[in-house]
């Protein structure tokens, strides 16, 4: 058994097999896109971290995830909140009102 070789994950083995079947120009393009995605993710995280630090230093409010025990934003709708007991999109057992001038037993045709 060779102790100096590292065990690769199944994902990296599959990736290597897929690359071995591709033409070189396509394999290199794919590797370049993967590397670009990794670098772009690092840059995005770094920019977000810098923006967060600047916001904290300047005293601006910082968007943060809700802490345990905080209620969702729907509790703070104020006058825009739906009436108590009112639900939207839920099926009701009541039949809809017929249009004016028509009785419930008349068909629409």
Supply the pLDDT for residue 36.
97
Both tokens of 9, joined, read 């994950």
DSSP for 32-94 reads: HHHHHHHHHHHHHHHHHHHHHHHHHHHT-----PPPTTPPPGGGG-GGGSPPTT--SS---SS
pLDDT tens digits for range 42-80: 999 999 899 888 888 888 776 666 566 666 666 666 677
Q: Does the pLDDT at position 98 exceed 70?
A: no
Return the closest-CA partner of residue 105 out of 91, 95, 94, 93.
Answer: 95
Cα(92)–Cα(69) distance, integer angstroms: 32
Domains of the chain, by residue range, sit at: 10-63
Q: Does the pLDDT at position 12 exceed 70?
A: yes
Supply the pLDDT for residue 20.
87
The model's pTM is 0.46
């Amino acid at each position: 058994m060779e102790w100096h070789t590292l065990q690769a994950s199944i994902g990296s083995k599959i990736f290597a097999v897929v690359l071995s079947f591709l033409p070189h120009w396509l394999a290199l393009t794919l590797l370049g896109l993967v590397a670009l995605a990794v670098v772009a993710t690092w840059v995005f995280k770094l920019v977000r971290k810098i923006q967060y630090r600047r916001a904290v230093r300047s005293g601006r409010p910082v968007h943060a995830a809700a802490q345990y025990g905080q209620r969702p934003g729907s509790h703070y709708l104020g006058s825009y909140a739906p009436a108590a007991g009112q639900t939207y999109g839920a099926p009701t057992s009541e039949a809809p009102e017929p249009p004016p001038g028509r009785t419930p037993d008349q068909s629409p045709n």
